[in-house]
Amino acid sequence: MNQHEINKGINDMKNIGLTHKEKNQILKNIMGMPVVSPYAPKPSLWNFAFNKFAYATAFLLIIAMTGGTLAYADEFSLPGDLLYPIKRHITESIRDVLTVAPAAKAEWEAEKAIRRLDEAEALAQKDKLTPEKRDRIEKDFDENVSAFHDNLKSISTSTHKEEDLNDTFDRSIKDHSDILSKISSHKNDGEQHEVDALKDTVVKASNSKATEDKASTSQKDIEKEKARIKND
């Protein structure tokens, strides 16, 4: 290896860097930190009341005072329940902020998607799955599935984490599709329609994932072949 090759080796190392998405996400997380700057204008009491972190702080204080009972209870709440907004906008929002790495984010988005299906199933079993609630759950589910796939794209391909997460999520989606079929078979026409409509959304998410997988595998094969040729 001559001096030129050593220099090239050192320069090529500089190709290692963050992805565009990782870079933006880190900056977004940092800018969202609750840092009190001596240069910042003093916030009014009104602004403080509507500050997201004020809610989070208040919530943490409540948890500390109630021994976590409320936080535990809100985890089991369903759309329409008193504690449901706390579950969605505080408990889950805190985890949104605290989850940083792409794999952890993907895992969390998958968990949220499955949570929405759990809620829909629980509502359907109690005959409380109204068209409005079903529509809201479907929208949230689609958003979570989309965010899950976006985060998967940022995960390292050498760790097989992407494949593991994909497989786990796929299995969960299929399980929930079966559960919804069983629930639907025990319902009358009106309720059956809501459950079937939700099931269609779940099946659609599973099918689009399969198509994406196929395209992604082909792209990876091309990249691997390119790398092999380059190294040869």
Partner 1 sequence: MEVHHIKQKFTEIYNKEADSLFRYCFLRVSDREKAVDIVQDIFAELWKKYNSTEKIKNERAYLFTLAHNRIIDWYRKKKSESLDTLLESEEGERPFDYSNTGDADIILSIESKRVLKAIETMEPIYKEVLYLRFAEDLSPQDIASIIGSTANVVSVRITRGLEKLREHFHTKSK
Query: Which residues are at the interface with partner 1 (CB under 8 A)?
Result: 1-3, 5-6, 8-10, 12-19, 22-23, 26-27, 29-31, 33, 35-41, 100-104, 156-159, 220, 223, 227, 230-231
Q: Which is nearer to partner 1, 181 or 219 (CB)?
A: 219
Nearest distance, CB of residue 202 and partner 1, angstroms: 29
Q: Which is nearer to partner 1, 33 or 215 (CB)?
A: 33
What's the N-to-C CA distance of the chain in angstroms? 17
Nearest distance, CB of residue 102 and partner 1, angstroms: 7
Q: How far is CA 203 from CA 73, 104, 138, 193, 200, in A?
A: 31, 24, 12, 15, 5
Nearest distance, CB of residue 221 and partner 1, angstroms: 11
Q: Which is nearer to partner 1, 9 or 80 (CB)?
A: 9
Nearest distance, CB of residue 41 and partner 1, angstroms: 8
- For the chain, what is the largest distance between any 2 Cα atoms, rounded to a whole number of angstroms? 79
Q: What does the alpha-carbon distance between residue 125 and residue 183 come to, in Å, rounded to a whole number? A: 7
Q: Which is nearer to partner 1, 53 or 76 (CB)?
A: 53
What angle do the packed helices 102-125 and 131-153 form, to 10 degrees? Answer: 160
Q: 3-state SS of the chain: helix, strand, coil percent to 5?
A: 75, 0, 25
